[in-house]
Amino acid sequence: MADKYANLSSSERVDAAVQLIHENPSLSLRKAAVICNVHPSSISRRKRGLTKAKEQADHEKQLLTPAEEAILIKYALKYNDWGLPLQFKHLRQFALEILYRKGSQPSLGYHWHDRLLQRNPQLQVTLSQPIDRHRASAIKESTTR
């Protein structure tokens, strides 16, 4: 039965153990811990509400709500559709503007954009390429005539 929980993260295994105990009230904490391969104290703390699942705890720390983050993503994708290079400082400015309009005094972390990119795989970082020297000279020549 432990094989069923082998590919889960530790937080997911603790949640599964709590679920097992709720489904089978006669099941002890220690037996559920052995079945799910977690420490009994982890199950006890989760049942008492002292700890939360990692995803839930991370979600509560976020400054932007999922709807606000979706607006930010839409802005970034629209910027890309226009063919304009979007820098991290632009994303940060837009996020700060959203937070200021909410009335909070935010301070985004230095690596805030990295976590944003991890949560939203549809955004990708690409390096911009400078215009080719021959194309640039052709543009300059045609505008001077």
Rounded Cα gap, residues 112 and 72, in angstroms:
13
pLDDT in tens, 86-132: 888 888 888 888 888 887 777 788 888 888 888 888 877 766 677 77
pLDDT in tens, 26-77: 999 899 999 998 999 988 888 888 887 767 766 666 777 788 888 888 888 8
Check residues 51 and 2 and name the one with the higher pLDDT. 51
The alpha carbon of residue 57 and the mean position of all alpha carbons in its chain are separated, in whole angstroms, by: 12
What is the sign, positive or negative, of the torsion defined by CA atoms of 129, 85, 122, 95?
A: positive
pTM: 0.53
pLDDT in tens, 82-99: 877 788 888 888 888 888
Look at residue 23 in the predicted model and tell me its pLDDT: 92
Look at residue 40 in the predicted model and tell me its pLDDT: 92
Section 7-30 average pLDDT: 88
